[in-house]
Amino acid sequence: MRTTTILTTALLLVTLWAIPSSAAADRPVVLVVNSYHAGYPWVMSHNEALRRNLSDIADLVFHDMDTKRLNPAHHLDRAALALDKYREVQPDLVILADDNALAFLGPDITRAGTPVVYLGINANPRIYACENDLLTGVLERPLLKRSIIFIHDILGPSMNKCMVLFDNGTTARVTMDTIFKGNNRIMVGTVQTDIVLATTMEQWKQHVLTAGELGYGAIILGLYQTLTDNEGKHVPDDVVARWTGANSPVPVFAFWDFAVGRDKAVGGLVLAGRPQGEEAAGLARRILDGEDPKQIQPVTAEHGRFLFSRSGLERWHIDLPPSLTQPGEVLEFVE
């Protein structure tokens, strides 16, 4: 009798050990596909928010397309690999981060019947031809016009003309289409605002070094992660940010938090990846709890926050105006 009991217990333990933990707990699987790479600060920030807000109810699998650093000629191949990962994982829900992932993968995944939550999307999601009944997510809207108004308040009359400097990536093209309406110049209040795109680091340097003599009172950094050198090799984003901060003849501001810091941008009204991840996780939880995606409206994650580099303010002898330091206004500083 005792021998039988021992054998039964042993068999039960072996059976339980053989069952995957996710199956034992009947946990859903969420596949997160990033347009970019794991070391990109934006991706690191929203990935961490997704882990923190979803890991208690789902198993997360991450896959990176790396389309910031790779030549666009390779993007279709990267999309095919991501779809292979989707078929391998067979997730209950997919989170697609940024426009490239939604454009390349959204139509196939939603047609297959899997709900999709997107984040970091700059264009209108409808242009990507996804099945809208299975699609919702978080929009990203660079705070260009509001930023320029605040920067004008900070610098005063010396800034009646500013340069918005981008690489030639997806976000830059969407910004030109949606905010600049296909033009390279708009007026924001009394400030002439020019959008300038660069494909190579040499072009970028030329735009920065000539900003002062062309009459610009400030440069506002867009994105710069797709720049290449003269040999076509990707230039690390931190190299671009630090070179720009060190060599610009005029103060440099930013739209995203990762561009602000010592030897980089002075600051600005910035967006961050963390709120995007938090909002996307909240939408994903609702779907995993049984809510119909078509009943969930897309959201915009945040209205931005003021973030400044103390050393940058000191270098450019900038005093923040009372409009930014009034009670109730949250100011954050690095360093």
CATH code of residue 159: 3.40.50.2300
- Are the CB atoms for 137 and 126 separated by under 8 Å? no
Taking residue 51's Cβ as centre, other Cβ atoms within 10 Å add up to 15
Same domain, 153 and 100: no
Model confidence at 21: pLDDT above 50: no
- Are the CB atoms for 104 and 124 separated by under 8 Å? no
Q: Are strands 191-197 and 185-188 parallel, antiparallel or unpaired?
A: antiparallel
Instruction: Tell me the C-alpha to C-alpha distance, in Å, between residue 26 and each of 29, 55, 57, 58, 79.
Output: 9, 14, 10, 9, 29
Same domain, 314 and 291: no
53-74: per-residue pLDDT in tens? 999 999 999 999 999 999 999 9
pLDDT tier at 50 (50, 70, 90 boundaries)?
Answer: very high
Same domain, 72 and 10: yes
Same domain, 133 and 112: yes
Nearest to 42 by CA among 98, 106, 103, 105: 98
Same domain, 329 and 283: no
Instruction: Tell me the C-alpha to C-alpha distance, in Å, between residue 265 and each of 180, 260, 269, 274, 279.
Output: 23, 5, 12, 20, 27
Same domain, 319 and 205: yes
- Which of 89-103, 134-148, 201-215, 283-297 has the least mean pLDDT? 134-148
**What percent of the chain clears pLDDT 70, i.e. is strictly above it?**
91
Kindly report the backbone phi and psi dihedral angles of residue 56, in degrees, each rounded to the nearest multiple of 5, phi listed first: -75, -20
The total number of structural domains in the chain stands at 2
Cα within 13 Å of Cα(323), Cβ side:
8
Same domain, 287 and 222: no
Instruction: Tell me the C-alpha to C-alpha distance, in Å, between residue 71 and each of 164, 168, 200, 218, 221.
Output: 23, 12, 12, 30, 22
pTM of the model: 0.86
Same domain, 33 and 57: yes
**What percent of the chain clears pLDDT 90, i.e. is strictly above it?**
80
- Are the CB atoms for 260 and 240 separated by under 8 Å? no
- Which of 88-97, 160-169, 224-233, 320-329 has the least mean pLDDT? 320-329
Same domain, 210 and 282: no
Same domain, 212 and 289: no
Q: What's the pLDDT score for residue 176?
A: 87
The DSSP code for 228 is B
Q: How far apart are CA 197 and CA 203, in angstroms?
A: 9
Same domain, 190 and 127: no
- Are the CB atoms for 99 and 123 separated by under 8 Å? yes
> Cα 177 to chain center, whole Å?
19
184-200: per-residue pLDDT in tens? 999 999 999 999 999 99
Same domain, 224 and 247: yes
Domain that residue 43 falls in: 2-140+274-300
